[in-house]
Amino acid sequence: MLKIREKISHRFFVAILAVVVIPIGIMGYESTMLARKALTNFAFLHMATIAENRASHLESWLDERMDDIGVLSDLPGIRDACEGYVRRDPADSASSAVELLRNTLDIVEGRSPSYENLYVMLPEGKVLAATHPDLLAAGGVSGTNIIERLGDSDDPVMGPVYQRPDRDAWHVQLASVIKGHDGRRLAVIVAVLDLSKTVDPIMVERFGLGETGETYLVSRDRRIISESRFLGWPEILDRSFDTEGIRSVLGEDRGTSIYENYMGREVLGSYIWLPRYDWGLLAEMETDELMWPLKWIKTIAILSAVLVSAICFLMAYLVSRRVSGPIVQVADAAESIAEGNLEQRIPFSSRDEVGRLAASFNAMAERLSHSIASLQQKEDSLQKAYNDLVTTQEQLLYSERMAAVGELVASVAHEMRSPLSSIKLNLQIIGRSLGRETVLFEHYEIALDQVAQMERMFSDLLNYSKPFDLQKKDMPVESLIDRCLLELEGEIAAHGITARKRIEPDLPPLIADPDKMEQVLVNILRNALEASRPGGAIEIAVSGGKDSNGSITVQVTDHGPGISRRNLKTIFQPFFTTKKKGTGLGLAIVKKIVDAHRGEISVESEEGRGTIVKLTLPGVRGVA
C-alpha cells in the first residue's frame, strides 16, 4: 500500500515540478538577469552623469581662475609698476615700483581665498615681487617652467601639478603675460593654487555617491592629486596607483566599466580625461551598494520556488491519500472476497472514477451475498461510511474555525497596543489598593512587569520601523548627560553603581534632537549599568569641539564582563540580543538615530575587561 502511494505521489510531484516549479525557476532566473542588466545600465548612466557633472564643475571653476589671472595681468597698477622697473629708473624709483607691485599683489590676494601665493617674474626668471617670498624659497616647480608653457601665447596657461617638500599637498601654477602699453612683454604674473583648498571641495562632494562612492583626480604619473576618501594625505602623496580605471583614463579614454579600485574593492567607475589640464577624473562606487536591490529580487525568487515546492509536496500527499488509498482498499477487499469473506465492502462514496470502481466492486459483492449477514454487513459498512463522513465534516469545521481564528488574531495584532495600555492602567489602579505585604501584590508586580515587557517590545518594533522626524536644536551636552543620569537615578542606586563624569570645559552645544539623543544615551548608560558588577563604576567622558567641524565625542566605559568578538560584529543588527528579556532592537535603534544625526558610534570591548562605547556627534560648528 505504501509503495503504491509513493509511486503515485512521486509521479504527481514530478509532473507538477515540471509544469510549475521549473518554469517559475526559469522566470525567476530570467527576471533576475533582466533586473541586473537594467540596474547595471542605470548604474553606468548614473556614474557617467556624476563624472560629467564633476568634470563640468571643475572645468568651470578652473576657467574662472584662468580668467582671473588674465584680468590681474591687465591691471593698470601691475602694468605700470612693471614698466617702471623695466625702464631702469633710478634705484629708488625701481624700489618704489617693486614696493607698489608687492602692495598691489597683497591687495589682490587678500580679496580672493583661491590663491596661496602671487608673484611677478621677469622673462629671465627673476622674481620682482611676491606675496609670500618664503613659499618660493621652500622649493617647488621653478617659475621658468610656467614661462616655457606660456611660449608665445597671450592667453593664461596652467602649469603641471607639483608638491613642495615642506607641504603635504598638491599645488598648481597659473600664469599670464603682463604687456606694456606698446605691446611688449614685460613680465609674467603667476598664481599658486593649493589643490587641497580649491579643487578638493569640488571633488569630495558626496551627493549621489552613497556610502562607498568617491570622485578623485589623477596625474600623468598615476598619482592621486585630490583628497581620497579611504587614504590620508601621507599615504597618497608619495605613491602611484595602478587600476584598470586609472590606466584607461591615462590612455586619454572616456568610459564606464567595472574593475577593482586602488583599495582592492570591486567598483563601478566612470572616467574622463581632461586634456586641457592633463588630468584624469574618476567617479567610483562599490558594486555591492549599487546592486543591493538584486538581493531582494533573488530572495523573492527563491522564496517563491520554495513555496511552490511545498505546495507540490502537499498536493502529492493529498493525491496519494485520495487516489492510491481507495485503490489499495479495492485490492485488499478483492483478496478478502477471494478467500471467502463475502461481507467485505469498500467505504468510498466519491463520484469520480475511483468512486465508480468502488461502487462496481460493492455491487459485485452485493450480488454474491444473499444472506442477512451480508445485509447486516452492508448496514455496518454504511454506518462506518457515515461515521467517517461525520468525522471528516468535524475536521473540516475545525479547520475552518482555526482559519477564522488565525484571521482574527492577525487583525487583532494590529490593535494590541491599545488594550495593552488599558490592561496596564487597570493593573496600576488595582495595585494602589493592594498592600505591599500581601501575597497578591507579588503577582501584581509580575503581571505589571510582563505588560511593560510587551510594551517595550511593541515600542521597539514601532520605533525601529517608522522613519525619524528629527527636531534639531542647540543643546548643552552637560545638561543632556545630567538629564539622562537623573532618569536612571533609581537604577544606578539599585545596582550600587557610581557614575563618574569628566567633561571638558567650554564645549560647544550639540545640534541634535533632544528626545532622540536622550534615548540614545539612556540606552547606552542602561546597558553599561546592567553589565557592571554591584558596587562598580561607569565613566562618562566628553571631549572635542576644537576641530574645524566642532564634533563632540561622548565615551561611556564600564568594567563588566565585556563582549565576545563574535557578538561584537552583530550587536547593531536588529533582533540580536544576549538578554533574556531583551528585544534585540535597542542598539539597532541607537545606531539608526546616530546615523540620522550624521554621527558615528563604535564599540570596543574585551572579554573580562569591560566595554567602551564611543559617540561622535556634530557640534554647532559642524554640519547638521
The pTM for the full model equals 0.46
Q: Give the position of cell 534615548.
A: 519
Alpha helices per DSSP H over 414-543: 417-432, 439-465, 477-487, 489-495, 514-531
Task: Tell me the three cell numbers of residue 289.
Answer: 551598494
> Average pLDDT for residues 521-542, to the nearest whole number?
87
Pick from 60, 73, 64: nearest CA to 190: 73
Helix (H) or strand (E) holding 129: strand 127-130
- Per the CB < 8 A criterion, the answer to whether 457 and 574 are in contact is no
Q: In this model, does residue 412 exceed pLDDT 70?
A: no
Q: In this model, does residue 517 exceed pLDDT 80?
A: yes
**C-beta atoms surrounding 48 within 10 Å:** 18
> Average pLDDT for residues 260-283, to the nearest whole number?
90
- For 345-394, the pLDDT digits (tens) are 666 666 666 666 666 766 766 666 655 455 565 677 778 777 878 767 76
Helix (H) or strand (E) holding 178: strand 171-179
Maximum CA extent, the chain: 153
Q: Give the position of cell 607691485.
A: 101
pLDDT band, very low/low/confident/very high, at 271 (cuts 50, 70, 90):
very high
Read off φ and ψ for residue 60, nearest 5 degrees. -60, -45
Which one-letter DSSP state was computed for residue 560?
S
Residue 30 to residue 38: CA distance in whole angstroms: 12
Which one-letter DSSP state was computed for residue 429?
H
Give the pLDDT score at 256: 92
Helix (H) or strand (E) holding 14: helix 2-16
Give the pLDDT score at 272: 93
Which amino acid makes up residue 49? T
Reduced to 3 states (helix: H, G, I; strand: E, B; else coil), residue 221 is coil
Give the pLDDT score at 464: 58
- Per the CB < 8 A criterion, the answer to whether 381 and 345 are in contact is yes
Residue 11 to residue 249: CA distance in whole angstroms: 60
- For 297-306, the pLDDT digits (tens) are 778 777 877 7
Pick from 388, 334, 314, 330: nearest CA to 1: 330
Q: Give the position of cell 479495492.
A: 330
Pick from 125, 146, 144: nearest CA to 193: 146
Give the pLDDT score at 589: 82
Residue 307 to residue 297: CA distance in whole angstroms: 15
Please count the residues of the chain.
Answer: 624
* Residue 173, strand partner residues: 192
Which one-letter DSSP state was computed for residue 415?
T
Question: Of the segments 20-34, 171-185, 239-253, which one has the largest average pLDDT value?
Answer: 239-253
- What is the tally of helices (H) and strands (E) in the chain? 22, 16
Task: Tell me the three cell numbers of residue 210.
Answer: 552613497
Contacts within 8 Å (CB) and 24+ apart, 380-388: 381/345, 381/347, 384/347, 385/347, 385/349, 388/347
Question: What are the angstrom distances between the C-alpha of 45 and each of 202, 210, 245, 267, 269?
Answer: 21, 15, 16, 14, 11
Q: How many CA atoms lie within 13 A of 185 on its CB side?
A: 17
Residue 584 to residue 463: CA distance in whole angstroms: 13
Give the pLDDT score at 112: 73
Residue 442 to residue 527: CA distance in whole angstroms: 26
Read off φ and ψ for residue 158, nearest 5 degrees. -120, 135
Distance of CA 216 to the CA centre of its chain: 22
Of residues 35 and 613, the one with the higher pLDDT is 613
Question: Of the segments 104-118, 203-217, 312-326, 432-446, which one has the largest average pLDDT value?
Answer: 203-217
Question: What are the angstrom distances between the C-alpha of 402 and each of 72, 93, 405, 409?
Answer: 87, 107, 5, 10
- Per the CB < 8 A criterion, the answer to whether 518 and 483 are in contact is yes
Mean pLDDT of the chain: 76
Q: Give the position of cell 617652467.
A: 145
Reduced to 3 states (helix: H, G, I; strand: E, B; else coil), residue 285 is strand
